[in-house]
Amino acid sequence: MIATRSSSEPVGQLSPQDWLDAPETQAVLDALTADGSEVRFVGGCVRDAVLKRPIKDIDIATHDPPQVVMALLDDAGIHCIPTGIDHGTVTAVIGKAHYEITTLREDVETFGRHARVAFTDDWTADAARRDFTMNAMFADRQGRVYDPFDGLSDLGAGRVVFVGNPQRRLEEDVLRLLRFFRFHAHYGRPPMNESALAACRRMAHRLVELSGERVAGEFVRLMQAPDPAAVMLVMHGLGILAHVLPEAAAFGRLRVLCWLETRAMVRPGLGIDWLRRLGAVLDTDVAGARTVGERLKMSAVQTARLVSIAAPKVRLDPGMDGPAIRRALRMVGADTFRDLLLVAWAEARAIDGRANSTESARWITLLDECDAWQPVELPVRGADCLELGVPKGPRIGQVLALVDQWWEERDYRPGRDACLARLRELVGQG
């Protein structure tokens, strides 16, 4: 039996909210209540409003079935899209503002991810379908908060708690297992809920049933948390990562990288970067990194970047001199160099375990070189080879490679005249 409180009486009040008072929001509310129906905000916008965090998505629940919702919006001249009409969801669009509106539902029968639902006018029954208590809160137009499963207390205490029986909620959709850890990384404080952890351990083997896209969506959001390493370490200990990301092992490196990105320094190129963090936590080779990219259905560009971080072509260290730094920059480019630098710095710091001001200054020097880097190109071309009588074909590339090596050894200082002179020497006209 799930412990509930009345969903008809508010238990709190949101502070003034710009998104709630926005003309677009008020226009949608006016349209949805034109027939006298009650509507409430639900889920993430209520949760984040309580915490005074930025609001990303605005979800609205209503008694009316989707056909009525669409008619009400149409009567008000508001564009709507039947984004999930079979499940009772339509999206209202005003300019750049989007509002997902869903009819209250209750489960009639559940079987895995696919549940047979019926529309209802019972707010508590709808809240009982949701994953965590902190996501089962409602707020009305006046900002009054309704909390049938005591989500406010859990949110305030940093407790990520399933609505009802954790095992049953995971059986309904095992993606909630990954969502549990992702939400803890963003909203939770230790200790984690023991009954939830036990259910996650029992259900971990079912994670292989999920599509790569759904798994990737959770890991992208997890990597955007302030400290995903702490949560991933728990996931590793419970045997959960073995089913979805067995290559993850460098948790100390990830932890220090997050600190470098968000707290150690403020400068261009630094900040939360989920793909850099994912690459940092992997302990694998080129083939393994590519496998991760394929498993998580990444784009070719994303996979290439992941490989460049997890299996670098060049190893950076704070003792590199200027020419070595510039050679590495030319080889991999400034963006990849920055990724590799931060990951290498994080690894060194994780191993050492203590700050070293001298070494930190050297790493910062590498960052300065990266920020100041301007790509360089060999001043001679294939056309110059042809003018000197080098026949078309592989010989041109071979000669240019020799000139390039000579030029690089001199830290890219020789200009076009010097490079042409070297080219003449190599083709026998010097």
Where are the domains positioned within the chain?
Answer: 12-164, 247-372, 382-426
List the structure tokens of 214.
Answer: 């759904």
For residue 80, list its beta bridge partners. Answer: 92
Predicted pLDDT at 266? 79
Predicted pLDDT at 1? 43
Question: Among 3.40.50.300, 3.10.180.10, 3.30.460.10, 3.40.50.970, what is the CATH number of 12-164?
Answer: 3.30.460.10
pTM for the whole structure: 0.91
Q: How many other CB atoms sit within 10 Å of the CB of residue 401?
A: 11
Predicted pLDDT at 417? 97
Whether 349 contacts 256, CB under 8 Å: yes
Tens place of pLDDT per residue across the chain (430 aa): 455 665 679 999 999 999 999 999 999 999 999 999 999 999 999 999 999 999 999 999 999 999 999 999 999 999 999 998 888 999 999 999 999 999 999 866 555 555 556 899 999 999 999 999 999 999 999 999 999 999 999 999 999 999 999 999 999 999 999 999 999 999 999 999 999 999 999 999 999 999 999 999 999 999 999 999 999 999 999 999 999 999 999 999 999 999 999 988 878 778 999 999 999 999 999 999 999 999 999 999 999 999 999 999 999 999 999 999 999 999 999 999 999 999 999 999 998 877 788 899 999 999 999 999 999 999 999 999 999 999 999 999 999 999 999 999 999 999 999 999 999 999 986 5
Predicted pLDDT at 407? 97
Whether 221 contacts 195, CB under 8 Å: no
Backbone angles phi, psi at 97, to 5 degrees: -90, 130
Residue with tokens 């793909």: 275
List the structure tokens of 6.
Answer: 């009345």
Q: How many other CB atoms sit within 10 Å of the CB of residue 58?
A: 23
CA distance 39 to 99: 13
Q: How many other CB atoms sit within 10 Å of the CB of residue 268?
A: 9
Whether 170 contacts 220, CB under 8 Å: no
| Residue whose C-alpha is closest to residue 100's, from 140, 38, 57, 137 | 57
CA distance 312 to 217: 25
Output the CA–CA distances (angstroms, integers) from residue 326 to 77, 375, 422, in the order listed.
59, 9, 22
Whether 164 contacts 175, CB under 8 Å: no
